[in-house]
Amino acid sequence: MQKHNNTVIAKSRLTLQFIRYNLKIVFGNKFVYFLGASLIFYLLITSINLFASDSVSVEGVYFQLMFPAFLLIFFPTTYGIQNDEDARILEILFGIPNYRYKIWLVRLVMAFFMVFWFIFLMANLSGVLLINVPVWEITLRLMVPVLLFGMLGFFFSTVVKNGNGTAVIVVIIGLIVWLFSGFLEASPWNIFLNPFELPSGMSETVWSNVVLKHMRTWLIVALVAALWGLLNLQQREKFIK
């Protein structure tokens, strides 16, 4: 019994060390700048809303949290491959069997888990400072575009293999999508669709179907991007030269 407990403790310690080490790789270096920019942007917009004459709405809080959420997920997914190369562990990781599942899948889960709780904390803060909001619902709804852009960043990083180049591509895609969002408006194809903003003249039932289709569509796209990126990581010769 004691031997079994010692084994469990040893495995737990190894797991914690593995998580701690990968957190340093994924969230190291430049992440502090993205985190700082995210918090500054959030506090700036919150301060403006606090002293604005117009009342703050739930849909306004949703949009307010969207940009900081994108900043948080931008670095760990876009610069992931480059971080491995900078840390001189890329070739070591490619020598591990089932690399895509044992390392990067865990890293993606950790990145999105951390971002989820950052969004949750900011939503709670908005609930205290601005207006009572459904914190859990806003956080979960925001994770749809966050997952999409995060997985797209990860996918393009496996193609470009350079953080700065990937960042440019993701930013350009984001700007194009943002420009077209004005034309799409209440369409489920609008990535920036606000699920809390019921269009005038549309019933709640129809709107619920639109929001559901929006979530289902872009979560599938995010899943495809993730799987495609993981498959790209199997082509060792493209990364190790």
Note the pLDDT tens digit of each residue in 121-169.
999 998 888 888 899 999 999 999 999 999 999 999 888 877 788 888 9
With cut-offs at 50, 70 and 90, classify the pLDDT of residue 225. very high
Task: Look at residues 76, 79, 72, 71 and name the one whose alpha carbon lies nearest to residue 160.
Answer: 79
Using the predicted structure, report yes or no on whether residue 231 has a pLDDT greater than 90.
no
pLDDT value at residue 185: 79
The answer to whether the CB of 143 falls within 8 A of the CB of 117 is no
* Residues 114-118, mean pLDDT to the nearest whole number: 90
Q: What pLDDT score was predicted for residue 58?
A: 86
Q: What is the pLDDT of residue 85?
A: 55
96 or 171: which leads in pLDDT: 171
Q: Where are the alpha helices (DSSP H) in the chain?
A: 2-26, 31-51, 58-78, 80-86, 90-94, 99, 105-129, 135-160, 163-184, 204-232
Structure confidence at residue 211 (pLDDT): 92
Average pLDDT for residues 212-228, to the nearest whole number?
93
Query: Sign of torsion, CA 124 125 131 137?
Result: negative
Q: What pLDDT does 130 receive?
A: 84
SS3 12: helix
pLDDT score of 93: 56
Rounded-to-integer distance, Cα 168 and Cα 74, Å: 11
pLDDT digit string, tens, across residues 11-65: 566 666 656 656 665 665 666 777 778 888 888 888 887 777 677 788 888 988 9
pLDDT for residue 17: 64
Looking at every residue in the chain, the average pLDDT score rounds to 79
Percent of the chain at pLDDT > 90 equals 21
What's the confidence (pLDDT) of residue 212? Answer: 93
Mean pLDDT in residue range 214-226: 94
